[in-house]
Structures are given as C-alpha cells and as structure tokens.
C-alpha cells in the first residue's frame, strides 16, 4: 500500500511542478527562477510537515501519510535533476556566474527553507 501512496503523491507533486514551471517560464529566460522557487517551497514543506508529523510531533501521522507527502509529493515536486541540468547548461554556455548563483541560491535557500519549516512546525508543537 505504501507504494500506492508514494505513486499518488509523486503524480501530484509532478503536476504541481509542471504547472509552476509553465507559469514561471517568462521569468526564467536567463536564470531558472521557477526551479529555485520550487525547490525552496518543497524544502520548506518537507521541513515543516516532517517535523509536525513525527510520532512525537503535535500531529503524528501514519507512515503512509508521511510517505505520500514527503517522498511522493515533495519528491515529485522538487527538481534536483532539473537544477543539475540547468546548472550544467549555464556552465556549458559559459555563464559561470549565473551557474554559481544558481548553486548558491538553491543550496542556501533550500537549507534555510527546511530550517524555517522545521522552526515553524516546532512553534506549532510547543
């Protein structure tokens, strides 16, 4: 049954990623803003939901619910493979500065989003 939950969550996450990517295409002509946004939002969600739904959290959730959201939705939604390809393309075309910015923004903002999500969930728990 857990495979079904991951599959359904992945489909939903992928659909959301596609919709946001399509919506942000006009912004992402020279820098992948949509991908950075998606990864930051996904990082926040996994930090927030993961903390809030621990067995010791305020809203303990079943393994299947956690798999649906954290592995399925977040896995289908976030775009590390897209990030990697876009960074490689920037490097390949000589846009070293934008490639470095993409790596730094993505890593720093996503780590910060996980921390903010975790902190927000901790406030709900306490």
Q: What is the residue-level pLDDT of the chain in tens, covering all 126 positions?
A: 999 999 999 999 999 999 999 999 998 788 999 999 999 999 999 999 999 999 988 899 999 999 999 999 999 999 888 899 899 999 999 999 999 999 999 999 999 999 999 999 999 877
Is 20:38 a contact under the CB 8 Å cutoff?
yes
Total count of domains within the chain? 1
The DSSP letter of residue 68 is I
The structure's pTM equals 0.84
Is 5:66 a contact under the CB 8 Å cutoff?
no
Q: Which residue has the tokens 């490097």?
A: 91
Among candidate residues 62, 55, 14, the one with its CA nearest the CA of residue 38: 14
Name the residue range of residue 46's domain.
2-125
CA angle, 39 then 7 then 108, to 5°: 15
């Amino acid at each position: 049954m857990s495979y079904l939950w991951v599959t359904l969550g992945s489909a939903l996450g992928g659909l959301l990623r596609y919709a946001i990517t399509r919506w942000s295409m006009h912004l992402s002509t020279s820098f992948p803003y949509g991908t950075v946004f998606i990864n930051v939002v996904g990082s926040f969600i996994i930090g927030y939901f993961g903390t809030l739904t621990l067995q010791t959290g305020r809203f303990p959730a079943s393994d299947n619910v956690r798999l649906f959201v954290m592995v399925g939705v977040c896995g289908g939604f976030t775009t590390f493979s897209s990030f990697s390809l876009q960074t490689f393309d920037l490097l390949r075309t000589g846009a070293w500065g934008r490639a470095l910015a993409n790596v730094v923004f993505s890593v720093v903002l996503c780590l910060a989003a996980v921390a903010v999500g975790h902190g927000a969930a901790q406030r709900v728990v306490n």
